[in-house]
Amino acid sequence: MKAVFLLFLLLTLIPIKAATLTTNEIFVRLQIVIENNEGLEDLISDLENLENRELVPLLKEFDQTWPQLRDRYLKDHNNFVQAQYSGEAKVEANRQIRQFRKDFMMVYQLNEAAMKPLLKTKSMPAIKGLKKLIMPDAKQLFATAPVALDQQRKIVLILAKFRDAIVHTAVLPDEEKAREKIISKEKEAISAVAGLPRDGLRIIEENDKIAAKENVPDDEREGIREVNEWRLLLGLNALLIDSKLCDASRGHSEDMDKHKFFAHESPLDGKKTPWDRAANEGTKASGENIYMGSTAPTAANKGWFYSPGHHKNMFRGSHKQIGLGRFGRHWTQMFG
């Protein structure tokens, strides 16, 4: 019923009589797309044939209704999320979280030989279970959502995509990226109740700022973020990016690639140990992991996760800072 109401609201609140014939036609076609669950591609393509004198009024008419539809959905979404993290559901989720963390730390405390077979059967399932409970994505969350809310979301995302297309086609100086904003607000609603510590989330946000300011490559930033999310899921502290450790890591990865060696001990003068390499960049290190075989940060993190010694390094509670550096298919991860 909510989905039908949203569509009705869209068609009744937009003052079509005051609009141009072209605008009327566009809104009728948008209605057909929504009713028939069709793609927007043809409609968006046809926007290219409109002049700005037609696109600007189109956006103006659309925006008389859009904020109401968007905000109504976000309110309903927030209410649904709140319900998933309250009462008996919250009690059961907390019980499962405690058990997953207990399972993980039980393996972590074993010797490396005993750890190895359990990293895949106990440790990674614990991480995945925690992520599902604490950081569910929209797809996971909506697997249990009422049909009406799911339909409501689909309509709102279609409308958001349509609005973004108008803005893009007209090259308008508009700050709102409608679809991106909705996805972001959904994530915020989940984060607010799902249990990740706020100080950890603040460090992740700060890391994004540091990475942008210090020109840390996106793949390195993403690899660091994944490790931090794992640590927060387990109740550990998030690690602050040290761009100097990133430089030292990237330098060692480049040395391994160019000089054809794979080791923590470098044959190059002045770079023999991780501590030397960190000192050369003006910082300190407390540990190092190395990986070879892929350009993807997720592959490097996964390789370290399933390697007992590297695993222990990655989840050590005493670390405060982190650096990650790639060159070619070589990765180096350093801690401080």
Assign 3-state DSSP to the chain and report helix, strand, coil percentages, each to 5: 70, 5, 25
The pLDDT assigned to 121 comes to: 97
Q: pLDDT by residue (tens digit) across 52-64?
A: 888 888 898 899 9
CB atoms within 10 A of CB 237: 16
Q: Is the pLDDT of residue 6 over 90?
A: no
The overall pTM is greater than 0.85 = no
Q: Who wins on pLDDT, 246 or 197?
A: 246
DSSP codes of every residue in 238-265: PPEE-HHHHHHHHHHHHHHHHHT--SSS
The pLDDT assigned to 9 comes to: 52
Distances, alpha carbon 207 to alpha carbons 141, 167, 202, 222, in Å:
27, 31, 9, 10
